[in-house]
A and B are shown apart, each in its own frame.
Chain A
Amino acid sequence: MPRIAFTVNGKAGTAEVPDNQLLSSLLRDTLRLTGTHIGCDTSQCGACTVHVDGRSVKSCTMLAVQADGAEITTIEGLANGDTLHPMQAAFRTHHGLQCGFCTPGMVMAAVAFAEKNPSPTEDEVRRSLEGNLCRCTGYQNIVDAVITGAKAMASARS
């Protein structure tokens, strides 16, 4: 079994991974980071979105062994202690969720998007969320949250 080394949420780690293990399974089953959700397992819903080397990816559509040497960020890595990440805070302010199942993926997608788009339009936000499905169809508040969160992230940087 290949042994891989990686960084998850700032902490270095290693794991023995079966060749066919998905990154989503490494995170959830091996590392017990269950904030990353598996919604469809067919690469469509985006609930499993995490960041690999700074880019948003669907962790159910990448092999764990492909993350060898990578820097991974999951939803658990966003908050600083008890202080929510600005995007998480914006989701709370706007109530950008209904059942909450898609929320980790939505937030991870939104953070990756907002890092490159500090002041997005509503249309840009909607297009950026094409890879993330909310079965409750609670999109309006999610979009509002991403617009607010992007601005908050930009002002936190400046």
Chain B
Amino acid sequence: MQDFKYSRAKSLADAQSTLKGAAEGKYLAGGQTLLPVLKQRLASPSDLIDLAGIADLAGIKAGAQSITIGAMTRHADVAASADVRRLIPALAELAGGIGDPHVRNRGTLGGSVANNDPAADYPAAVLGLGATVKTDRRSIAADNFFDGLFTTKLAEGEIITAIEFPRPNRAGYVKFPHPASRYCLVAVMVSEGPQGVRVAVTGAGQQGVFRVSAIEAALAKSFTVKAIEGIKIADGDMMSDMHAGAEYRAHLVGVLARRAVAKALAGTSN
């Protein structure tokens, strides 16, 4: 493992000032992406600033209209949360399907969302449920947060503190996992809630997570599987690699969106 200086921040202010003083500092959340990236020498920060010791960054608070999840909350805790399972079961299911059990015991919501891997699960939840990203300095709506591959609108040194998910009337998430990595080859979150119908796709887009307006418009008229049966998804902006071509990914978007709608309808009582 390459060399770096480790420090454990006691507060948000402490984390920020350590980052400012570092030649090239990086925040460390759950480390399930960052540590493998360091081993591969794809990044070489001078300093790692661990956020795990900061009080109040982990935890789940259920309100009347939304659930707020602390940035350092581990995937396993979101998946197991009685509140999340009751109020947004699609989100609990999504969290319970990330990586594998050991990764879910360490990986965090904030870490995943800040990293914005184009094949990660959580960006689909944030965008597809119309969540709000809370940071140490502002609130950012999901539609204004993601900014292309591994890029977000977070400023230098800005720290995600929590994410607020509005409670949908219904939602469904369906993932076609890559058989080896468990990342999303394609995955779709469909929801109908306070912000209308939202359909977000991860794993497929060349620019990362995106919404599908044609499917959203059809579902807004009629929230049924039938309403989106004829919709063709263009493959021009889809990723293409040895695992799945652009055309296949575009096809999967339609298939998984229909399955997600069916799931959302089946779970309406939630």
We find that the number of chain A residues with CB closer than 8 angstroms to chain B is 27
- Name the B residues within 8 Å of A61 (CB-CB): 31-32, 35-36, 103, 106
Interchain CA distance A113-B76 in the complex, whole Å: 12
A130 and B32 in contact, given A20-B2, A46-B100 (Cβ under 8 angstroms): no
Minimum CB–CB distance from A109 to chain B (whole Å) comes to: 7
Interchain CA distance A42-B103 in the complex, whole Å: 12
A43 and B2 in contact, given A66-B50, A131-B100 (Cβ under 8 angstroms): no
Judging by beta carbons under 8 Å apart, are A19 and B5 in contact?
A: yes
Q: Mark B236-249, 1 if CB is under 8 A from A, else 0.
A: 00000000000000
Which chain A residues in 2-50 approach chain B with CB under 8 Å?
2, 19-22, 41-44, 46, 49
Asked if B99 is at the interface (CB within 8 A of a chain A CB), the reply is yes
Judging by beta carbons under 8 Å apart, are A22 and B1 in contact?
A: yes
- Name the B residues within 8 Å of A21 (CB-CB): 1
Judging by beta carbons under 8 Å apart, are A66 and B52 in contact?
A: yes
Interchain CA distance A49-B101 in the complex, whole Å: 11
Minimum CB–CB distance from B114 to chain A (whole Å) comes to: 18
Judging by beta carbons under 8 Å apart, are B101 and A19 in contact?
A: no
Interchain CA distance A109-B105 in the complex, whole Å: 12
Which chain B residues in 1-49 approach chain A with CB under 8 Å?
1-6, 8, 31-32, 35-36, 39-40, 48
Asked if B138 is at the interface (CB within 8 A of a chain A CB), the reply is no
Please count the residue pairs between chain A and chain B whose beta carbons lie under 8 angstroms apart in the complex. Answer: 71
Interchain CA distance A56-B99 in the complex, whole Å: 13
Asked if A85 is at the interface (CB within 8 A of a chain B CB), the reply is no
Minimum CB–CB distance from B179 to chain A (whole Å) comes to: 10
- Name the A residues within 8 Å of B137 (CB-CB): none
Minimum CB–CB distance from B4 to chain A (whole Å) comes to: 6
Judging by beta carbons under 8 Å apart, are B35 and A63 in contact?
A: yes
Interchain CA distance A2-B7 in the complex, whole Å: 10
Asked if B221 is at the interface (CB within 8 A of a chain A CB), the reply is no
- Name the A residues within 8 Å of B4 (CB-CB): 19-20
Which chain B residues in 83-113 approach chain A with CB under 8 Å?
99-103, 105-106
Asked if A55 is at the interface (CB within 8 A of a chain B CB), the reply is yes
Minimum CB–CB distance from B5 to chain A (whole Å) comes to: 6
Q: Which listed residue, A49, A62, A112, A130, touches B31 by the CB 8 Å rule?
A: A62
